[in-house]
């Protein structure tokens, strides 16, 4: 449907939000629920911005279009400041090894721009989904198994529950006992009924997690599992000079999040779930929730300039690509816009930047479409390559998420691998990802050759039929009288992004609640809707 830009009516709002990524969508839902009149725009023809799920061609176009700021149509008008975008993605390399196969199924792919990313069943994104009743709109698939790369490139299944520890074949009896003992220490520490003497000491809580784990004599293999596959540490924790040491108290918090995730929904065996049809469903769900609360939606609508009060330089509104001017006291922009420092930042209202946890400024992401699963009997799985597992100087964890057609993100018989690693520069990031991809390919070849006769190997089609690798800039949320939402971060979940959205919302509306007090369905009458057959129901 290509039509001329529509005229938007009304022209004044309490809040204008540009970009439909997850943080923007959460803020739109919260502001609409608080009774604010909200206009939510996106220059793209799809929902989700940097959190979208797209077909291979759309994804290629999105990554490269975002790499070139459009020529600014800045006039001489002193009452406007032209709004420019900056490249969030660079070093984009896309290769297609079976274009005809891909073409045939193009519509069946929903590839995440910001992968790999999943939900922990007990994390804040799940809270947001339940509190805003967006669970009616979403379906999830369980991530069935969690692997970690141990010595010699071998993948070991992470024992992520008590029964899994008992059944595990890779751990010796002594190791199992050590692990159980450690989990008991954590359990006692977290139990509010236990007295102080059975808790982890304050001194230990402030010490590095790696030291704490060594102190209670956990062997290196178990230490590695806990730090990189459960606490999801990105940096090598056993290096003196590590810039990002995970403290014991944070490590225990992450462990607690993982453990409470394992038990939360009886039908999800593991801690992690993934939305059917891709990550892009989450912003769509929150946008729909906002729309129900009267938020106005306009896709395919670029914003070209900010309207500025000539007297005091304050932000007044925006100019659309259609030439129409719209006004609002508050504006929230997605991270692809250059944060307009000259506009709206009066001396008494400085721009605040949320602290970024990662020291690195970038994240390398990779997407591979493959013809077979990494593990023959499991389609949705996570693999963690902890520091030094791929090559001796590897100082950053590489995470790989494989999803199959049961998640409705690719056609049957194919799989999608998402990879990510924090990095300082493109060279480092690409080395991390390419080494991980090579390791995966080698393991696939050996797996094939183990069972299949040699003559078949010759006509074997390539394992990876499409591949995209790119570098994404990381940016934190910023707020002044204009706010900027954070870019997708390097984490595996949405925890920090939901936090950042909440902070931005509170900075914008200090007196309003981010989450509604009680879960109010769209309509009281339809409370009867999906019948309760079980908390997390495999329909």
Partner 1 sequence: MASTGNKNINAKLVLLGDVGAGKSSLVLRFVKGQFVEFQESTIGAAFFSQTLAVNDATVKFEIWDTAGQERYHSLAPMYYRGAAAAIIVYDITNQASFERAKKWVQELQAQGNPNMVMALAGNKADLLDARKVTSEEAQSYAQENGLFFMETSAKTAANVNDVFYEIAKRLPRVQPAPNPSGMVLMDRPAERTASASCCS
Q: Which of 224, 284, 485, 493 binds partner 1 (CB under 8 A)?
A: 284
| Tokens standing for residue 79 | 């009452």
Question: Do residues 382 and 431 lie in contact, with contact meaning Cβ atoms separated by under 8 Å?
Answer: no
Q: Under rule CB under 8 A, which residues in 460-519 are in contact with partner 1?
A: 519
Question: Do residues 28 and 295 lie in contact, with contact meaning Cβ atoms separated by under 8 Å?
Answer: yes
| Tokens standing for residue 196 | 């102080």
| Tokens standing for residue 532 | 């309760």
Give residue 313's Cα distance to chain centre: 36
Q: Under rule CB under 8 A, which residues in 170-199 are in contact with partner 1?
A: 183-184, 186-187, 190-191
Q: Which of 220, 263, 350, 462 binds partner 1 (CB under 8 A)?
A: 263
Q: Which of 97, 138, 242, 338 binds partner 1 (CB under 8 A)?
A: 138
Question: Do residues 156 and 460 lie in contact, with contact meaning Cβ atoms separated by under 8 Å?
Answer: no
CA distance 227 to 209: 8
Q: Under rule CB under 8 A, which residues in 93-112 are in contact with partner 1?
A: 107
Residues 6+ apart with CB under 8 A from 97: 462, 464, 465, 466, 467
Nearer to partner 1, 53 or 491 (CB): 53
Q: How many residues bind partner 1 (CB under 8 A)?
A: 77
Q: Look-up: residue for tokens 């495999």? A: 538
Q: In the bound complex, what is the minimum distance in angstroms from residue 528's beta carbon to partner 1?
A: 6
Does 277 contact partner 1 by CB under 8 A?
yes
Helix, strand or coil for residue 289? helix
Query: Angle at the Cα of 193 (from 191 to 199), degrees rounded to 5?
Result: 55
Q: Which of 37, 67, 267, 372 binds partner 1 (CB under 8 A)?
A: 267
Q: Under rule CB under 8 A, which residues in 309-328 are in contact with partner 1?
A: none
Q: Under rule CB under 8 A, which residues in 2-21 are in contact with partner 1?
A: 3, 6, 8
Nearer to partner 1, 48 or 480 (CB): 48
Question: Do residues 468 and 182 lie in contact, with contact meaning Cβ atoms separated by under 8 Å?
Answer: no
Does 529 contact partner 1 by CB under 8 A?
yes
Does 205 contact partner 1 by CB under 8 A?
no
Q: Under rule CB under 8 A, which residues in 143-172 are in contact with partner 1?
A: 161-162, 165
Q: Under rule CB under 8 A, which residues in 393-432 are in contact with partner 1?
A: 405-408
Phi, psi of 380 (to 5 degrees): -105, 115
Q: Which of 146, 229, 248, 268 binds partner 1 (CB under 8 A)?
A: 268
Residues 6+ apart with CB under 8 A from 308: 78, 79, 80, 81, 314, 315, 316, 343, 344
Nearer to partner 1, 258 or 466 (CB): 258
Nearer to partner 1, 138 or 245 (CB): 138
Interaction mask 292-311, partner 1, x per CB under 8 A: xxx-xxxxxx----------
The stretch near partner 1 (CB under 8 A) out of 140-148, 365-373, 425-433, 434-442 is 140-148
Give residue 523's Cα distance to chain centre: 30
């Amino acid at each position: 449907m290509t039509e001329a830009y529509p005229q938007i009516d009304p022209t004044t709002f309490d809040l204008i939000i540009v970009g439909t990524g997850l943080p923007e969508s959460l803020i739109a839902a919260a502001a609409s629920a608080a009774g604010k009149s909200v206009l939510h725009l996106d220059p793209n023809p799809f929902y989700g911005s940097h959190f979208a799920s797209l077909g291979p061609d759309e994804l290629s176009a999105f990554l490269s279009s975002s790499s070139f700021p459009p020529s600014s149509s800045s006039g001489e008008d002193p009452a406007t400041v032209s709004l420019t975008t900056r490249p969030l993605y660079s070093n984009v390399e896309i290769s297609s090894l079976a274009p005809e196969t891909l073409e045939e199924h193009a519509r069946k792919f929903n590839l995440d721009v910001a992968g790999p990313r999943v939900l922990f069943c007990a994390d804040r994104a799940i809270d947001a989904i339940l509190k805003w009743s967006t669970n009616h709109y979403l379906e999830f698939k369980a991530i069935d198994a969690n692997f970690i790369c141990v010595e010699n490139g071998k993948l070991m299944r992470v024992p992520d529950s008590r029964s899994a520890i008992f059944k595990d074949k890779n751990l010796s009896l002594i190791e199992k006992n050590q692990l159980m003992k450690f989990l008991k220490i954590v359990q006692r520490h977290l139990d509010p009924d236990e007295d102080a003497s059975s808790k982890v000491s304050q001194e230990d809580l402030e010490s590095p997690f790696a030291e704490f784990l060594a102190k209670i004599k956990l062997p290196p293999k178990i230490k590695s599992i806990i730090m990189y596959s459960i606490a999801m540490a990105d940096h090598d924790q056993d290096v003196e000079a590590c810039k990002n040491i995970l403290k014991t108290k944070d490590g225990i918090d992450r462990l607690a999040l993982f453990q409470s995730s394992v038990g939360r929904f009886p039908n999800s065996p593991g801690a992690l779930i993934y939305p059917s049809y891709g990550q892009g469903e989450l912003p769509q769900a929150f946008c729909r929730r906002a729309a129900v609360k009267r938020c106005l939606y306009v896709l395919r609508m670029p914003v070209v300039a900010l309207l500025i009060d000539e007297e005091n330089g304050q932000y007044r509104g925006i100019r659309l690509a259609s030439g129409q001017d719209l006004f609002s006291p508050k504006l929230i922009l997605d991270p692809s816009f250059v944060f307009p420092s000259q506009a709206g930042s009066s001396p008494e209202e400085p721009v605040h930047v949320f602290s970024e946890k990662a020291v690195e400024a970038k994240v390398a992401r990779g997407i591979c479409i493959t013809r077979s699963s990494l593990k023959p009997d499991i389609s949705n799985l996570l693999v963690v390559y902890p520091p030094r597992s791929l090559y001796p100087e590897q100082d950053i964890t590489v995470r790989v998420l494989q999803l199959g057609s049961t998640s409705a993100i690719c056609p049957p018989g194919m799989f999608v691998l998402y990879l990510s690693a924090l990095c300082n520069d493109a060279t480092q990031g690409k080395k991390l990802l390419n080494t991980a991809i090579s390791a995966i390919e080698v393991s696939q070849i050996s797996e094939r050759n183990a069972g299949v006769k040699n003559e078949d190997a010759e006509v074997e089609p390539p394992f990876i039929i499409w591949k995209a690798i790119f570098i994404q800039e990381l940016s934190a949320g910023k707020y002044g009288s204009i706010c900027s939402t954070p870019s997708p971060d390097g984490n595996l979940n949405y925890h920090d992004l939901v936090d950042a959205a909440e902070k931005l919302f509170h900075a914008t509306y200090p007196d309003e609640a981010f989450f509604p007090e009680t879960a109010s369905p769209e309509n009281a009458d339809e409370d009867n809707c999906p019948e309760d057959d079980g908390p997390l129901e495999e329909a």
